[in-house]
Amino acid sequence: MPPTSQPPQRISVEERLFSLVLALIATESGLTKAEILETVQGYRQRYQRGGDNASLERQFERDKDDIRELGIPLETIEPLDESGSNHNLRYRIPKGLYDLPSDVSFTSDELMLLKLAAAVWREGSLSSDSQRALTKLNSLGVDSTDPVLGYAPHLRARDAAFEPLSKAMDRSQVVTFPYLKPGEPAPRRRTVAPLAVVLHEGRWHLHAADQESGQRRTFLLSRIVGPVTPVPGKTFTPEPDGQAHHALEALDRLWEANTARVRVVPESEAELLLRKRTAGEAGPAGRAEEPAGTDQALILHFTDIDILADELAGFGPEVLVLDPPRLQEAVMERLRRVAEAHAAPDGEDTHG
């Protein structure tokens, strides 16, 4: 049978509206309807470049009304040289109109609680889908450092390599950096032409042209373990617009194709956290029926097997990896290293 295409990921109305508000606050110059439909979480999953997006455009019109009904000041900007044309209207939410009123103040205790909430927010209270609302703003020239200033804690999710890579892209400079892959004893120096920096599943990725192999590569910024340095006198010809879009599509396909089947202890922390991301419960097809009352088996999507192995190993005995075998071995290796690191020296009595 020919392979069937995966249906678009279902995004809740609340998630879509929240993502839209984030994007419109993050831009000073505003976003066109086409930019919104192509880049904002909740729209981009159903957007068809060059195709019929009439239903999606009607959805956006309804969402605009909903935002305004919530009391959020959505502003429409008409291009000066295209008066009367609706094709290139731009939309934004002015930060100044959405700031807290001047007569609102907080006590020292209230400020402390707000700072604590901000810390929790920065540590990942936003779902990965919400974080995707900021993913492509960089490719549109939008500064999204503090997109929710004035009504929510600051979001800080950038690695040290982010700024030098952004500058190199602006100047079309080839750069070099040390990159450490899991399982390798030392970092390897990579020389690349940076094409786009995108946020996917809460992690920053570099989409680049590798100068040694001539291939397109994707690098995790968290694995860049040293300074990003421009190669003197070496530049590259910028690629056409849409590199961030292509990079995200590739990461989405990788995420969709990679699945893991894990068993979690009922009512454990692992079940609480992993069930939020599950693609469903593992059924009996092709496998023996799970006995009633046993631990829960879940299916998880992932883009990087080593990152998932790190996470699953952190749950200890609350998680058992059923497949794939590579993930089983990766988790076991991490648990063995932990056990060896905490093993008592030879001859030492570990009993009190």
Distance CA 164, CA 123 (A): 24
Mean pLDDT within 145-157: 38
pLDDT at 81: 66
Specify whether the CB–CB gap between 151 and 100 falls below 8 A.
yes
pLDDT tens track for 219-234 = 999 999 999 999 999 9
How much of the chain, in percent, has pLDDT values that exceed 90?
23
- The pLDDT assigned to 226 comes to 93
Asked if pLDDT for residue 239 goes beyond 50, the answer is: yes
Domains annotated on the chain, with CATH: 13-140 (no CATH), 162-254 (2.30.30), 258-341 (no CATH)
CA distance 112 to 164: 33
- Separation in Å, CA 283 to CA 259, 264, 304, 337: 14, 15, 24, 33
pLDDT digits (tens, 9 = 90+) for 280-300: 554 433 333 344 445 568 899
In whole angstroms, give the CA distance from residue 9 to residue 154. 28
Give me the pLDDT at residue 134, please.
Answer: 43
Long-range contacts of 114-117 (CB under 8 A, 24+ apart): 114/153, 117/153
Q: Give the number of other CB atoms < 10 A from CB of residue 147.
A: 21
- H helices within 137-241, ranges in order? 162-171
How do strand 90-92 and strand 75-77 relate by DSSP bridges? antiparallel
pLDDT-based confidence at 117, cuts 50/70/90? low
Position 333 pLDDT exceeds 50: yes
- pLDDT tens figures, 183-203: 788 999 999 999 988 888 878
Please report the pLDDT score of residue 182 as a whole number: 84
Check residues 27 and 56 and name the one with the higher pLDDT: 56
Provide mean pLDDT across the span 315-325.
92
177 in Cβ contact with 223 (< 8 Å) = no
What per-residue confidence (pLDDT) applies to 138?
39
Would you state the structure tokens that stand for residue 119, as one six-digit string? 């810390």
Contact 322, 263 (CB under 8 A): yes
Highest mean pLDDT among 124-128, 143-147, 209-213: 209-213
For residue 207, pLDDT beyond 80? yes
Q: What's the pLDDT tens digit per position in 92-111?
A: 888 665 555 556 666 666 66
Q: How confident is the model over 30-77, as pLDDT tens digits?
A: 888 988 998 888 888 888 888 888 889 999 999 988 888 777 888 888
Mean pLDDT of 209-217: 91
